[in-house]
Amino acid sequence: MTESEQENARRIVERVARESYGRLVAYLSVHTRDLAGAEDALSDALVKALTVWPRDGVPQNPEAWLLTTARHSLIDFFRHQRVVSESEPDLLLLTRNTTEANVETNYPDERLKLLFVCAHPAIDPAMHTLLMLQTVLGLDAVRIASAFLVSPKTMGQRLVRAKTKIRDGGIRFEVPEQRQLPQRLEAVLEAIYAAFGIGWDDMAGADQRGRGLAEEAIWLARVLLQLVPAEPEVQGLLALMLHCEARRAARRGRDGHYVPLSEQDPKLWSLPLIEEAEHHLAEASKRGRPGPFQLEAAIQSVHAERARSGRIEWSAVVQFYAHLIRISPSIGRRAGYAAALAEADGPEQGLAVLDTISPDAVSSYQPYWAVRAHLLQRLGRTPEASEAYDRAIGLAEDPAIREFLLRKRG
Amino acid sequence: MQFALLIYESADAFASRKSDGADTYTGAWRAYHKALVEAGVFVGGDPLEVPETGTTVRIKEGKQGVQDGPYADTKEQLGGFTILELPSLDAALEWAARCPAAAYGAVEVRPLAPDTKRRIVE
């Protein structure tokens, strides 16, 4: 095999790992409920592929090859552990059709069950996103730890604990009944959106943490949409993320400085992504079941409209925020509502909304202080504005936002 | 529990301190300090003078040696420290990420060692 053929084989291993990881882990763990075991078996298979494929050529069906190899290593593990008696049914399932030729190319897609397991109510909500990123997307603990600002060692331990709980805690790999579906789905959507938020915050790519996480989250939402096409909130979430993603290029100036949404050049927005977002939002709203993600997407849609009309319909943004707050009044939504109301009805109105939020709740919530500073500055209350700017600057993680606020503070 | 944020800065960052206080270096630090105090997590801390002002003393095999400057010869040098009272390492990492030095240098988070301290000061 030539060097370029070897390089090609390596690329195929990477691509199959990227595209099939979650599907393979889901299938390998659905009966055993042993996520860590399935991941270990799959990573063994991937390591083997890296030596075998460049030497013997890439198999006709790379995914089936990986599945067969991973299954064999799982079976070896079971035998080694001498737990055959209790795991007999699992072992039978795994040994069935173990020759590569027999592996059905369209083995069942169990990723939906896996997504629901990751966001199961018995699992700490803080772990939902992390489990998904690792088991469905195959991200390693070090990368997840960097993105979520946790020490890599701690992150590894938390993931192991969560997986042990899934294996031993009687959490079933199943799609919830229709009756429970909307509520259970909410946790899955929240977890995907959290991954997007992390990836979004560091969109500048100034550092390594979280790079590409926004794309991964969009990919997860697309997978979810294929699996549950009739749930409008899934499309709402996808539309929301696509709208934000469409503005990636416009969020930074040429020298890397931060550009706020209302000052972005719409010519830099991605029209195809906006159109796709609008398509999903329209499809979702046809079902007549609005929800938080559809409303968030609708707000982004109003902003996107500026590309055509040249103006922002702030009264519509206010309406959507008011609806969101009725569903659940998070601090972020109230701060967003205040900012929109200030644009629609004047800064006094916005400030009045901010004043209803308890100071304890915002002592380290950066966006609140940024909005407050902006509104105080518009009202000419300079000393108070400077104080609020300081709080916003001191709480900022993104150096570009810090510099933007330092400039505005003056 | 208490954590120390150890601030590591490059020669460029040290040099930018010399300005009159209206610069972004000072502005960012002033705001960060204010946020720490307002959030009720600040325990103490100080910036250190530039590394060249340091003098290192070591006694080896009964012989004392004095050396100009800090002992370690790395690109980034200790430029200051902040001590925070926080519930967890996660919270400390969050504050470290907000620290201006995280963007232009590095911030090491270390828990203080109260047990060792107790044995020493007793």
Mean pLDDT of chain A: 88
Quote the pLDDT of residue A100: 45
Between A261 and A10, the more confident residue is A261
User: Among candidates A366, A368, A338, A375, which has minimal Cα distance to A353?
Assistant: A338
Which chain A residue lies closest to B100 (C-alpha atoms)?
A399
Specify the pLDDT at position A83. Answer: 56
| CB-CB neighbors (< 8 A) of A403 in chain B | 24
- Label residue A73 left, alpha or beta by phi (over 0 means left) and psi (-120 to 50 means alpha): alpha
Structure tokens at B34: 């204010």
B77-85 and B42-47 strand pairing: antiparallel
Q: Among A13-27, A96-110, A236-250, where is mean pLDDT lowest?
A: A96-110
Q: Which residues of A touch B94 (CB under 8 A)?
A: 149
The model's confidence at residue A105, banded by pLDDT at 50, 70 and 90, is low
Task: Note whether A192 and A220 are within 8 A (CB).
Answer: yes
Provide the pLDDT for residue A211: 45
Write the DSSP string, A357-401. Answer: S-GGGGTT-HHHHHHHHHHHHHTT-HHHHHHHHHHHHHH--SHHH
Please give the pLDDT value at position A138.
Answer: 86
Q: Which of A402, A404, A408 to mutate to test the interface with B (most CBs of B within 10 A)?
A: A402
Cβ–Cβ under 8 Å, residues A409 and B44? no
- Supply the pLDDT for residue A195: 87
Task: Please report the number of interchain residue pairs, chain A to chain B, with beta-carbon separation below 8 angstroms.
Answer: 59
Is there a contact between B98 and A397 if contact means CB atoms under 8 Å apart?
A: yes
Examine the pLDDT at A15 and tell me if it is beyond 90.
Answer: no
The one-letter code for the residue type at A37 is G
Work out the average pLDDT over A66-85.
79
Selection from A306, A261, A312, A301 nearest residue A279 by Cα: A301
pLDDT digits 0-9 by tens, A128-145? 999 998 998 888 888 888
Average pLDDT, integer, range A263-288: 96
Task: From chain B, pick out residues whose CB is under 8 angstroms from the CB of A154.
Answer: 89-90
Residue B111 has pLDDT above 80, yes or no: yes
Confidence of residue A147 (pLDDT cuts 50, 70, 90): confident
Contact status, residue A277 vs residue A243, Cβ threshold 8 Å: yes
Which pLDDT score is estimated for A86? 58
B24-41 per-position pLDDT tens digit: 888 899 999 999 999 999
Instruction: Tell me how close the Cα of A361 comes to any Cα of chain B, in angstroms.
Output: 10
pLDDT for residue A250 is more than 80: yes
Q: Where are the alpha helices (DSSP H) in A57-180?
A: 62-81, 84-95, 111-118, 125-135, 141-147, 152-168
Using the predicted structure, report yes or no on whether residue A161 has a pLDDT greater than 60.
yes
Tokens of A82: 């001498």
Q: What is the pLDDT of residue A92?
A: 57
A256 C-beta neighbours (distance < 10 Å), count: 11
How close, in Å, is residue B50 to chain A by CA atoms? 23
Question: 């001191």: which residue's tokens?
Answer: A394
Inform me whether the pLDDT recorded for B86 exceeds 90. yes
Q: For residue range A39-54, list pLDDT tens digits in order.
A: 999 999 999 999 999 8
Nearest by CB: B30 against A363, A390, A395: A390
Supply the pLDDT for residue A209: 38
Residues of B11-49 as b/e, b for ≥16 C-beta within 10 angstroms? Answer: eebbeebeeeeeebbebbbbbbbbbbebbebbeebeebe
**Structure-token pair, residue A356:** 């209803």
For B40-97, the DSSP string reads T-EEEEEE---GGG-EEEEEETTEEEEEES-S---SSEEEEEEEEE-S-HHHHHHHHH
Is residue A160 predicted with pLDDT exceeding 80? yes
pLDDT tens figures, A287-321? 999 999 999 999 999 999 999 999 999 999 999 99
The pLDDT value recorded for residue A40 is 93
Question: ipTM score of the complex?
Answer: 0.81
For residue B62, the model assigns a pLDDT of 84
Nearest Cα of chain A lies from the Cα of B115 at a distance, in angstroms, of 22
Query: CB of A74 within 8 A of CB of A41?
Result: yes
Exposed, middle or buried: residue B83 (CB in 10 Å: 0-12, 13-18, 19+)?
middle
Per-residue confidence band for A101, with pLDDT thresholds at 50, 70 and 90: very low
CB contact under 8 A, B35 and A397: no
Instruction: Kindly list the residues from chain A whose CB atom is less than 8 angstroms away from the CB atom of residue B103.
Output: 206, 399, 402
Yes or no, beta carbons of A149 and B94 under 8 Å apart = yes
pLDDT (mean) for B72-93: 91
HEC string of B103-120?
HHCEEEEEECCHHHHHHH
Task: Return the residue in A127, A149, A198 with the most chain B beta carbons within 10 A, the one to mutate for interface testing.
Answer: A149
Chain A partners of B30 at a C-beta cutoff of 8 Å? 390
Q: What is the pLDDT of residue A406?
A: 94
Tell me, what DSSP letter sits at residue B7? Answer: E
Bigger pLDDT: B66 vs A18: B66
Looking at residues A135-160, what average pLDDT do you find? 89
